[in-house]
Amino acid sequence: MTHINDVTSLTVEDGIAILTLNSPPVNALSSPVRDGIYRGIQLALEDKSNKAVVLICEGRTFIAGADLVEISGKSTGASLTEAQSMIENSTIPVVAAIHGTALGGGLEVALTCHNRIAVPSAMCGLPEVKLGLLPGAGGTQRLPRIVGVEKALQFLISGEQIAAPACVEMGLVDALAEEGHLRRDAIAFAQQLVAANKPLQRVRDLNDKLEADKGKPEIFSQFRKSIARKTRGFLAPELIVQCVEAAVNNSFDDGIKEEGRLFAIVLKSKESAAQLYQFFAERECWKIPDVPKDTPTIALKKIGIVGAGTMGGGIAMNFANVGYDVTIIDSKPEALDRGLSVIKGNYDRSAKNGRFTKEEVDSRMALISGSLELSDLADCDMVIEAVFENMKVKKQIFTDLDKIVKQGAILATNTSGLNINEIASVTNRPEFVIGLHFFSPANVMRLVEVVRADKTSKEVINTSMKIAKKIGKMAGLVGVCPGFVGNRMLAQRQREANNLVLAGAMPWDIDKVLYDFGFPMGPFAMSDLAGLDIGWNKEKSNGQTIRDVLCEMDRRGQKTGAGYYDYDKNRVPSPSPVVEKSLLEFVKKSGVEKRNYTNDDLLARCIYPMINEGAKLLEEGMAIRSSDIDIIWVNGYGWPAYRGGPMFYADQIGLDTVLAKMKEFEAEFGSAFKPSALLEKLVADGKKFKDA
């Protein structure tokens, strides 16, 4: 065996050179890995008795991507392009032998190999788009040459990992190896190639699939249309499409140049900076300073849910999806039946859309049982309460659960903002009580706020964070305060949006500013969707609020075809002249001075108070770090990922800008806008939230 460097070695077996990378944990494309590939292939080619090369990795995976720590730093030795050229220009076949994941730059290296073999459990993907980047090492040029334009576009824009058998089907991988025997099968595969003595398959020279799509710009315009909604505001997806267009319309070398030019743009973009920041924030959020990694956890097997309504059903699905036994309780038989049939309906829809099989629906449903007796939760390891948002009802349930459920089990509540210390106080085991604040729809939304009460034990916190991860959620650990982190900040935006309307701004103008900022919808469109009459009482209504006025006109939102907006039969909204007139009359009557607002005014009034509230939450220790607040807003409240989250956004625009505006607001509108002490201090010290 020849050691090329610390992470690369070369051996020869029966005329096949085997270049092995061993750079734990994931064989990322660091300088030594790139240089090792370059020099390893060079060495293999020097010995003319070698007939082929197998490129294989030790450890748990093939090259799983770029070295993110090095991405913007200095590198030494051969560049990635040089290493790839060395492979591609080799005079003997180079076979990539893939296990684990071939991701990003790793897959781009595999694409420069002449052939690819993978074990069935291997996954391939180009996830750069998720970091606001694009594959900049030839991926956008080589992939369509192998799989065709349409599949390449989908692969590149989704950023998802595809399993090896599906990769074989699309032509990305040539053959499957037997699980656990990759080295043996890759050598045999290389020997077959040598025996067949066919010309080398250099992906850069394959043009058949592209020829078919030349001169068909409609492929691209249709694709752009199909992703428009999902990718609104992001930069990378459009530039990726442009790269593939370049692959179709230019020579390989010109296409590579164009990819390089566009890569330089995304690399420097604010969108990518925000998405890279989110990526690290989503890793950081699991670290709890006073709950070390080795804190014991409570073994969970059986989960109980109380309340089979909107939230209970979705929460149950999360657990059944990963194989837990779940028992759902409701006090009303019809509510229980409805809850179970909603779950079944959701699963059936997923099966119909091809997300999983019908058998899978049955096996997941078999894990969920319903009951009307709280006593059926006695042997649960964790119970999550999701009944009405009412302290009295919740206290009663926790009193009962404390008596019924075995000792050592976790008692969690899905309250949106009630005081969990108060809920815990009715039990004899407050250290086992915690908040698990899921978002609606709970089976879809990625966020859980894990709410730590005063007495919650470290074991319970650790177990809750781990289970959140296991069911595929992103978790932010927060403290007990009204609305916790997310809803407390949201309340600021809601209040100011309403105040703006009371001073003559139109709901659709505010909504549009927030939509253009990147939110899926503004607060008034949201109210129309939810229904304006939630919590409204016809008997007590007396035109005192705008909601009263609208509900009294039977404008109760989308369901009545009218709310803040008018809706056509397809529920497409348009600004309502009737509402405009009523609002202006209301403003006049209330004596508030009507103002004209610029879009910047509207945005600042809605967003800056939220940022200020975020600062207060940090100051009070309700959130551990500003990046936790950001993952909460991106994953739970539709804050656009390409803007990183409210605290990151504030760091970008400058905390001094936010502070100055809050002071202006405070002078004009009073103490609700008082800047947080932390914000003042950070500005005085010239620091950012990320340094707090």
Residue numbers at the binding site for ligand NAD (CB under 6 A): 306-312, 329-332, 335, 386-389, 393, 397, 414-416, 438-440
Q: How far is the CB of 397 from ligand NAD (least distance, A)?
A: 6
Tokens of 581: 């007139």
Q: Residue 292 or residue 345: which is nearer to ligand NAD going by CB?
A: 345
| Contact call for residues 408 and 302 (beta carbons, < 8 A) | no
Looking at residue 605, the DSSP 8-state letter turns out to be: H
Nearest in space to 118 (alpha carbons), one of 66, 56, 58: 56
Pairing outcome for strands 573-575 and 565-567 = antiparallel
Q: Residue 20 or residue 487: which is nearer to ligand NAD going by CB?
A: 487
Q: Residue 258 or residue 385: which is nearer to ligand NAD going by CB?
A: 385
Q: How far is the CB of 592 from ligand NAD (least distance, A)?
A: 32
Q: Residue 439 or residue 517: which is nearer to ligand NAD going by CB?
A: 439
Q: How far is the CB of 400 from ligand NAD (least distance, A)?
A: 8
Q: How far is the CB of 523 from ligand NAD (least distance, A)?
A: 15
**In the 3-class helix/strand/coil scheme, how is 340-374 assigned residue by residue?**
HHHHHHHHHHHHHCCCCCHHHHHHHHHCEEEECCH
Q: Residue 104 or residue 370: which is nearer to ligand NAD going by CB?
A: 370
Q: Residue 444 or residue 592: which is nearer to ligand NAD going by CB?
A: 444
Q: How far is the CB of 517 from ligand NAD (least distance, A)?
A: 23
Tokens of 104: 């990003």
| Contact call for residues 425 and 445 (beta carbons, < 8 A) | no
Q: How far is the CB of 519 from ligand NAD (least distance, A)?
A: 17
In angstroms, the CA 602 to CA 522 distance is: 12
Cβ count near 146 (within 10 Å): 20
Nearest in space to 491 (alpha carbons), one of 501, 483, 500: 483
Q: How far is the CB of 620 from ligand NAD (least distance, A)?
A: 22
| Residue 178 a catalytic site member | no
Please pick, among 88, 128, 258, 496, the residue that the annotation labels catalytic. Answer: 128
User: Can you tell me whether residue 63 is helix, strand or coil?
Assistant: coil
User: Can you tell me whether residue 658 is helix, strand or coil?
Assistant: helix
| Contact call for residues 620 and 610 (beta carbons, < 8 A) | no
In angstroms, the CA 322 to CA 124 distance is: 23
Cα 15 to Cα 10, 12, 39, 88, 250: the distances in Å are 12, 6, 18, 19, 38
In angstroms, the CA 284 to CA 76 distance is: 29
User: Can you tell me whether residue 206 is helix, strand or coil?
Assistant: coil
Locate the DSSP E strands across 87-187. Answer: 94-98, 101-103, 115-118, 123-125, 162-163, 175-176
Is the link from the previous residue into 24 a cis peptide, with omega within 30 of 0? no
Scored b (16 or more CB within 10 A) or e, 355-393 reads eeeeeebeebbebbebeeebebbbebbbbbbbbeeeeee
Rg of the chain over CA atoms, in angstroms? Answer: 29
In angstroms, the CA 263 to CA 478 distance is: 38
Residue 457: partners with Cβ closer than 8 Å, 6 or more residues away? 431, 432
In angstroms, the CA 37 to CA 431 distance is: 54
Helices (H), ranges, 228-251:
236-249
Whose CB is nearest to ligand NAD? Answer: 309
| Contact call for residues 498 and 542 (beta carbons, < 8 A) | no
In angstroms, the CA 635 to CA 446 distance is: 6
Q: How far is the CB of 376 from ligand NAD (least distance, A)?
A: 12
| Residue 108 a catalytic site member | yes
Cβ count near 77 (within 10 Å): 16
Q: Residue 376 or residue 619: which is nearer to ligand NAD going by CB?
A: 376
* Residue located via tokens 């730590």: 452
Q: How far is the CB of 438 from ligand NAD (least distance, A)?
A: 6
Query: H or E element: which one contains 306?
Result: strand 302-306
Tokens of 288: 């709890």
Q: How far is the CB of 312 from ligand NAD (least distance, A)?
A: 6
Please pick, among 88, 108, 245, 613, the residue that the annotation labels catalytic. Answer: 108
Tokens of 452: 């730590």
In angstroms, the CA 525 to CA 531 distance is: 10
Q: How far is the CB of 470 from ligand NAD (least distance, A)?
A: 20
Catalytically active residues are 108, 128
